[in-house]
Amino acid sequence: MSQRPSRVHIREVGPRDGFQNEPEHIPTDDKVRLINELGRTGLKRIEVASFVRPDVIPQLADGAEVLRRVEVPEDVRLMTLIPNNRGLDNALKVRETFHEAAIFVSASETHNKKNVNRTVEESMRENAVVARRIREEGLGCAAVIATSFGCPYEGEVKLDRVLEIAERFAEAGATELGFGDTTGMANPAYASEFFTAAVERLRGVEITAHFHNTRGQGLANAFAALEAGCASFESSFGELGGCPVPPGSTGNIATEDLVSMFHEMGVQTGLSLPGVIDAARSAQAVLGRKLTSHSIVAGPVEWATSHN
């Protein structure tokens, strides 16, 4: 069994994956302010924008402006999500504002068709071209495989199929491979099996776990991935997010809850937990509703024990 990592990397995806699911328009000023606040928590990687068509996800139509205006420490790397060649064309108009670009596909044919109206093979052919262009620009290239742990339309998604897609991404030049539990179908036993196999088979690339808390198993799955040797995670402050296809797929695991768990286990993240909680509470105020993470309500363990 792989040795548990003593330190992990966390990418904050709330400003993209989280905001895209919000039905009410979030003003650009508020987005910039929240990203700047996240940038002061010790985060080194933040996913900020997606260059999808504005009519598809209107909430992210101001992505270029957000990128131009954010002011985060110089060592914070900003990522954008790139759906296709046209999306990359638009992103490159503000090339100087970000450091990494992510391409994506669903492991499930049905989900990929509903999400981007293409077969998996069609998406992979264009992804290979986009990946080459990303590398030629000197940008970091990450690849994300949605529905890696199951599909709401097809059910089980074979582990070998997911890893074969991952190998194709690596061959195309991706240096990071993210595995998305898009609608919260993973369980800890399978997460352990999955990441044990992924760590063994996909050597030389960074392997990232992206879990959703749709059915309350997100942190347990993250723990299982950690025990299997995974040292890179994505999460969203306030447990924002979810998948727009299909409805009912609720948020990502909360960054503050993930950091709280890791810190209590002695796993280093480099993040200020009180800072992340404050940022999540700021998002709660902007959205005007209660968010669902536990740490927003309870605070860190050290706060609780200091008052006993």
C-alpha span between 48 and 59 (Å, rounded): 12
Length of the chain: 308
Among 141, 151, 230, 243, which one carries the catalytic annotation? 243
Q: Is 141 a catalytic residue?
A: no
C-alpha span between 267 and 221 (Å, rounded): 16
Contacts of range 74-78, beta carbons closer than 8 Å, 24 or more positions apart: 75/44, 76/39, 76/43, 76/44, 76/45, 76/46, 77/44, 77/45, 77/46, 77/140, 78/46, 78/47, 78/48
Residue 6, CA atoms < 13 Å, CB-side half-sphere:
0
Task: Name the packing angle between helices 188-201 and 218-227 (round to 10°).
Answer: 40
Q: 258 vs 44, 69, 233, 237, CA distance in Å?
A: 16, 28, 9, 10
| Residue numbers annotated as active site | 243
